[in-house]
Structures are given as structure tokens and as C-alpha cells.
Structure 1
């Protein structure tokens, strides 16, 4: 049997924030209101369920719909309708994932141009809920607890990976970042080592050695990885050469 199918705390807290905040309030994502953020989560829940259902039926999908394609219908819903939809789609996604991994624990499917373990979607959506709750609520006590979890950071590094997390930085700065090799450190945890070969980024978790480019608490480090800045930003310290820190921050410009 798989672990409990109970809704994770990250999803619970995201739904609570979506319910409590004005739908047209701005968020830390410049393009999104609270309502847009809800539509984003509804879209990804539906898309994951669609892929997992197709896999279970023996007809796996070979492409993933764009953000715009899957989110547009949800943005048209009222705030109350959207809240109910996110609630429903989260439950459906979780049920579909557990149905597959109960039968095939190592199941893997094609997702946004890479292979993804089906069970990894559970951590992936916990990450999405925690990060986007931060976009709506900032550095409150709840987000401090959620984003300190190392397993969310590990999932971002090993399952989401450098291609999407560095996409905006690579697209904007390209060859200017070539040759970058830098570590981001949180005391007591593995370093995140990031390198750039040409315009191809790599990320790995490694034992702490040498001088990091940037150091900070675990919540701040996860936010940096997702192209965000904690409050206050001074929770992150530039401990390496200025040029290295500058290029690293440019690289981590967001999804």
C-alpha cells in the first residue's frame, strides 16, 4: 500500500489563502492576481490528472498543454467557482496518482519534455502550493514552516531541475552566463552546486566544501531557486565573488 492519500498541508494552506484573499489582489508574480494563481493550480492539477489517467488507460500522452491553454478556462470562473474547482481537481489528481502507484510504484510518464515518476507529482504539487502561497501571503509564519522543508528543495533540484528553473535567466542572458560554477549554502544541509556549460545549466546537491557564492536559511534558498526574494532580502548573504553572485542571481530569474 502507498502512504496516506490525505490532502497535504501545502494544499490545505493554499486553499485557505485562496478563500481568504480578494481575488483581484496582486501577488509577487507580476503577471498574476490571486485569482490567476488559483487558475494556475487548477490547470496543473487537471493536466497532471489528464496525463496520469491516460497512462493508466495504456495510452500515455506525448505532450503537455501550455500554461495559457490549460489555465484560460479557469480564469473565467467566479472566485467561489474557482475555489471549488481547485478543491475538486486537487482531490482528483491525488486519487489518480495513488491509483497508478498502488499498482505500479515505479511508473514513469512523459511530462513537459522530460520523464517524470508518477509519485513525484505529489511532491511537485506540494512545491507549487507552497511557492504560490508565498506569492500571495509573503513570509508569514505558515510559509516559513512550509518552505523550510528540505524535501521540497530536493524535489525542485532533482525532479523539476535546471531547465525550467533557469529558463528565464538563460533566455535573457544566454552566453553571458557560460562558465558559471557556484554553490548556494544552508548550514547543516547539502550545498546546491550550479554550473553552466555554454547555455546548458546543471544542478546537483553535494557535500559542503569551499566557499559558497550565496548563503542563507533554507526558506530563503528555496525562494531564490524559484526566482524569488525573501523578506528581508538580507536573509541571503553574498559570500562569493561579486561577478559570480551577480551571474547566479541573473540565472535564477524564475520559471
Structure 2
């Protein structure tokens, strides 16, 4: 199976720095700076957890100011640094207010890489099999309250062969057959993109309206 980080890193040179991306308001260069800064912050957190060294302050603006070729190299360098450090770590690290195990941190990096690869290149840039990996949806649910939510509506995201995800108030949770205002039937890859606030158009998403508080039987 494709490794989402490797796919994303390979995609970095394919998009011009000023190109718009599916991450609203961001150019490709800005998105690459976000990836580099995020990976640098994660690496510093793991290094601090393992060695106790002081955590340097990571500045997105410093990466943003780099020429694009150097920025692309920085993304690769910092991402590989996270992988190397996480594989040596036994405990957990605090990143952005959330405590991650070493394994969870690698999943987080792979999830971010998969989503932002789609932001850069769309459906042609990353295989659905990567976006559909169960651990990426599980990770989105784990993060829960950082997801962009559908307002006050209770939306049940349903994919064949997978547990239902209830999405409401900026939170997500596994909840087979939960009460909802709307049920969205889609495949696992599109569901992950929806959870992260993307609007994929490659395949239709079939909404089914439900009366508030009604319940449908679980597909599982």
C-alpha cells in the first residue's frame, strides 16, 4: 500500500509556489511552509520528550520566507526527522496541546501528508486507498474537537463496511446508527476529506434527510 508521507513528499515539486490549493486561502508555498513548521514542531516535541532538551520555538514565518526549493527540502528533512525520532521514543510527546504516543505521532504525520497532498494535487495526486486507510479516519475521530464541524446539525457519515461517524458541533465520534439530521452515504476516502472540511467532487455524496431525533439501523 502507498505510504501517504512518501506520496506527499514526491508531490512537493509538482505544484508551482503561487498555485492555489484546496486548502482555502493557501498557496502551494504557504501549504509547504505549514507542513515544514508542523513537522519541525513535532520533531522538537519528541526530542524534548526523549532527551529533555529545551524545545526551540518553531516559527511558520521562518519557513515561509525560504525560497521554494529550500522549503521543499526543509519539508522532507523535518518529516524524516520526525520519523527517526518517533521510532526511538517509548513515551509520549505533547504537541499543540494534545498528547501523542510515538505511533500516534507517525499516524498524525501520515494523515496530514495525505490530506495536504490532496490539497495540492486533488484526486489525481493521491490514491483513494491511502485516504481510505481505517487508521486515518480513526485518527480524525481521536482528534475530535479540532475538526471543522457542520454547525449545529448532526450529520452521520456512513461508508460501506465501516463504523458510522457522527459529526456535530466540531466533533466526531464513532456512533453506529446514532440519531442525526442528515445521513451522508459516501466511500471511506471521501469521508475522510469531508471530516477535514474538504469538498471532494470526484464522486457524488448521497445525502438523506432525517427528522431530528430519528434513527436508522446501522449498516454494520
Q: Please, what TM-score do these two structures have when normalized by structure 2? A: 0.84
Alignment partner, residue 186 of structure 1: 159
**Cα distance, 1:190 vs. partner?**
0.3
1:165 aligns with 2:135: no
| Distance (whole Å) between structure 2 residues aligned to residue 133 and residue 143 of structure 1 | 10
**Cα distance, 1:150 vs. partner?**
1.7
Structure 1: runs of 5+ lacking an equivalent: 1-7, 245-255
1:82 aligns with 2:71: yes
Contact 1:220 1:235 in 2 (8 A): no
1:54 aligns with 2:38: no
| Distance (whole Å) between structure 2 residues aligned to residue 241 and residue 52 of structure 1 | 45
Please list the CA deviations of residues 140-186 of structure 1 after superposition, one character each: whole Å capped at 9, or x if unmatched.
2634232121211111111x22x2103xx58xx5xxx2xx5442100
Q: Which protein is richer in helix relative to its size?
A: 1
**Cα distance, 1:12 vs. partner?**
1.6
| Distance (whole Å) between structure 2 residues aligned to residue 18 and residue 141 of structure 1 | 11
| Distance (whole Å) between structure 2 residues aligned to residue 86 and residue 113 of structure 1 | 22
**Cα distance, 1:11 vs. partner?**
1.6
| Distance (whole Å) between structure 2 residues aligned to residue 157 and residue 52 of structure 1 | 23
3-state SS of 1:213 partner: strand
Alignment partner, residue 139 of structure 1: 123
Alignment partner, residue 35 of structure 1: 29
Contact 1:130 1:147 in 2 (8 A): yes
Alignment partner, residue 207 of structure 2: 238
Structure 1 220/154 Cα, relative in aligned 2: closer, same or farther at 3 Å? same
**Cα distance, 1:115 vs. partner?**
2.4
| Distance (whole Å) between structure 2 residues aligned to residue 165 and residue 210 of structure 1 | 20
Paired residues, number? 211
1:24 aligns with 2:29: no
CA RMSD in angstroms comes to 2.7
Alignment of 1:83-102 (within 5 A): 83-100=72-89
1:44 aligns with 2:38: yes
Structure 1 81/138 Cα, relative in aligned 2: closer, same or farther at 3 Å? same
Q: Please, what TM-score do these two structures have when normalized by structure 1? A: 0.73
